Structure 1
Amino acid sequence: MTEQAPAPVEYLYGIEAGHDEGNEWVPTRVVRFRVTKKTPRRIYYLPREWGQPEQRFVDRIALERDGEVVRKSAGWWEPDLRVYLNEPVLEEDQRPSLDELKAAMAAAHPDRGGTDEGFIAARRRYERARATIPRAERNLV
């Protein structure tokens, strides 16, 4: 009786945008999706690793030709909006600038429809980022 070697696990890739999670900034990162099946026209994959049974697919011909494909039915927030055949290389850490953090803080203010908790968290992120800038450069910001 001969044993067969298990088939290698294949992955497709997506990019999860940087976002706030509670009081912490989660930077942009590459996410991988396990391939479950390949047919001549489609590649099926699982969009999440944590046991979600939903299976999605992309056009195999376009993906292999272009190296990436955009899912027309995906939401802008989904990491598999754009699916990559090979792992994409991200540019260096894409942290928000002080201006972006300041704008987020203003948008989270209760007078502008935000909540107290949201404003406090946004101000804390802004103050933490501002503290990393040397004092001589702070006046320029």
Structure 2
Amino acid sequence: MYDLTAAKALALWAALHLVLLLLLSGRVVRLRRRHRVAIGDAGVPELTAAQRAFGNAAEYIGPTLGGLAALVLVNAPALLIHGVGALFFAGRVLHGYGMSQTVQPGRGRVLGMMLTYTALIALVASLVVYLI
């Protein structure tokens, strides 16, 4: 069986990442309404950036949560799941913020991707260690 504390850690990070997706999606919806755009970005740079910030988050969050779930299944400690989850979440928040800046690439965007990749590397390494 798996560690209930680790499962709760996973649930926390899943919930926080879903909230982030909702916030990023809400920004897209607000910009679509403001610029009266039903589909696509109509060439509005701010909307294009908001869509990519949401899309990028959606592309990374699902697989990473799957990896964190795999850590739960191999009985990794909750502290490891919290560490990777927090690092990844910080990266996604910074990236989303950086994507909203007018000067690109924004510092938040670059730092966010660095933290995201660091979390992903830590996740992969942890999975390999727990499989050995």
| TM category, shorter | under 0.3
Structure number with the higher helix fraction is: 2
Structure number with greater Rg is 1
TM-score (norm 1): 0.25
Structure number with the higher strand fraction is: 1
> Whose RCO is larger (CA < 8 A, sep 6+)?
2
TM-score (norm 2): 0.27
